[in-house]
Structure 1
Amino acid sequence: MKQLYALLIGFITVLSTNAQQYQLDSVFRTYNGKQYVASQKKDVEQRLAEVVRLDRDNQFSEIKYREKTQVLYDAHGNYLQSVAAQRSADNSKWNEISKAEWKYNDNEELIWTASYSYRKQQNDWFAEDRYERLISNDTIVEVDFRNQNDGLIPVRKHFSLKNETGEVYHYETMIWNDTINEWEKSYLSKTFYINDTTVVSRENYVWDENQWRNKDKEAYELDQNNEKTGNFTLYQAASNGNWRPQSRFEEIKFSEEKKTFSNTYQWSSTDQVWVLYSQVQVYCNEDDQVQDVLLLELDTGSNQLMLRGEQMQLYDQHGRIRLVQDISHQDGIVTGTQHSIKYDEDGNIYREDHYEFDAENDTWKDIRSTEFFFDKDVILGTDEGQGVMDFFLLSEHAYASKRYAVKNVKIYEVEGEKKVLSGEYDYFYSQMLSTSNKH
């Protein structure tokens, strides 16, 4: 481990020790003796970030570089260019394989992007597709291109109209016909508002036989103050083009009991009534935290709602989740999983245990355990300058950190009465010079 990490020191640039912001330099992941490594660095002045991935069969075998990605970004952290490369078969050099580019307007809105693949024989970049976006105060025009016969041709165009508050009320899609070299209408969506802000309904259409035909529709219910309630109805176009009810969603809140029922109805064309198809019951504790969730679905045989799934969440005295239990009921068979979480005195998660429900013995079977260890030198805080920068999101366990950054993670599989180490993660950090150029 130490030997491999030393080889990566030349790759990683430690900027300074003046500030309390840290960067995640590398992650070592070990499974069944094989080691996988991802190392990243970020040059703040050049606005360039890079990640390299490598592996080796065991701690004594040769290091094999696999792939590398470099990202160039602007002062706002927006991606400008990304280039991916793979290591040659003899592990001697990098061969570029793909590239992506982005452009933005003065408002930091994406207006152009393209992707390329590298053609080794021609020694050039081959444009595979491109996306262009033209934005004005009241319109947005988007065009997709793809490569055909070594040239980019248009494929699809989207045209949006915005109201005075910036909300889109007209969205139209056209398809390029390369036989006649013209745009053909394909899809249209119209959104209707109150005061140009609150959505009342949305109607979707398809172009057929030189006219727009109804496809589907969403109608939203408002309260007495013209605010959305969360309730809505979906319609499908009938053969004659008229709107036909299909399904309806309704949320019923019982404030005093701290519970909410979410009902889904299906329209019965035979009886011309709404039939309750499923229901989700949510129960909260005294602190308004979700504690129990029940899922019921209509059993067509008995025509009654039957319990299909349930979830229970328990919290500690600090309001943190300490246990999550999921149970499924299907065709008389009960299955389930359980996940327990333990915290240290600093609020870091130091252990997670996973269980499966043993229906035959009506008990929970321990299947996996994860233990977390922390780097006491990497102190996290609530200020902007007290965190860990992870440009390529390499960390899979940052969620466990509260006071300190995760240093080591051990994953055990339970086999009978024994715990067997199946995987391990090691995280390495360095301090950064400044937080003013955070992406």
Structure 2
Amino acid sequence: MAIDMTPDITPDRLALQVREWLATNWRGVDDREWREKVVLAGWAAPTFAENAYGLGLSKSLAQVVSAEFTAVGAPRSCQDLGPGVVDGWVRMIGMAVARYGRPELRAEFVRDLLVGDADGGLALYSEPNAGSDLAGLQTRAVLDGDHWIVNGQKVWSSGPLNSTWGALLARTDEDVPKHQGITFFIVPLQQPGVEVRPIKQITGDSEFNEVFMTDVRVPAGNVVGEVNDGWRILQIVLAAEREWLGEYLESIGRPKEAAGEDGRTLAPIADGAADLVRAARRAGRTDDSAIRQTIAQLHTWRLVHQWTTERLSSASDSAQSQVAAAALGKLASSRILHSVGRFKAQMLGPQAMLYGPDNRTGDDVNREMMNAFTNSVGGGTDQIQRNIISERLLGMPRGHTPDRGVPFRDIRKGTAQRNISS
């Protein structure tokens, strides 16, 4: 079935085409054949360009596609807008490769990511001596024929231990200022010279890793954007990550609950506060005016965060609106996550000090409070978000940067390796 995607297509016309396509193709089984059909039709990432398995739709039109798939229970559409973990990689790395990758890389990597063959990767950005000052990174990539040879160490790399690919920032020129000599790569990880060590977190999980690379080979065609233009590509990726983190981490900490333990349901507009009301009911404190006021405040923050993100995301695709949605959204979600965790611990009382599988309620609250720090650090710390908002949105002056304009080779830097996982 041919899809007629004219530039001025209306939501109703688009919905009809999606409905007709689903009637012909959806058979109720989410297998590889189905995933490939969705990708080749352009429904898997409809905001991507047509030369990257998309349809070039706006976000608002893509939501029409998502609604039609949801109506019939069909999965795999609009991964470029979804809140799940796999969707996050599509929204961050898939989008960057779709826009700036070479044709061969787009054809292979974006397709594999959408189908599920390249499901999840490692974000190889931060280093022991380059965290918030990420532009000070020292991992080096040197061109050798049709490959780049990479040596260096990364840390706090999020992603599964057995990842097949990584999104790598490496220095390719030391004779220019630090922001200008960085290149963005897609690096194959299943090769000699790559050692991935999991980092044990306070929750007991190991969602982050440190990665050591020794003479790792990266095909020259795996550069995203241009050589030495990686910092610009990274800003686009980080904006997408911050937007996704703000949606994902808050959504997993707030399961929908239609009713409390006493069977009373919440009004539709308030069901987003169901977890807070349930915590108060368990503590027998729903009649406490201070507790009710706190619930109302936290619920209001959630609503405003949701509305602001939707408004900024749909109003424009300009760089300014993307920065606003990303930085403001991530900072707001960080405040919400920490505040909700504290509230639930307060409602639970001494039981909130218990941890482990034998104390499920206390364990859940503890994990929620500790996981809130993931949003405060990952994708740029809360302090970095405040700097972005003050400088790029409010126009306030930048702080003093003594190494601005200085060739990276001449900047004083730390050189010690750190083994966090050992």
- Which TM-score bucket, shorter chain as reference? under 0.3
Which protein is bigger by CA-based radius of gyration?
1
Q: Which has the higher strand share?
A: 1
TM-score, normalised relative to structure 2:
0.20
Q: Which has the higher helix share?
A: 2
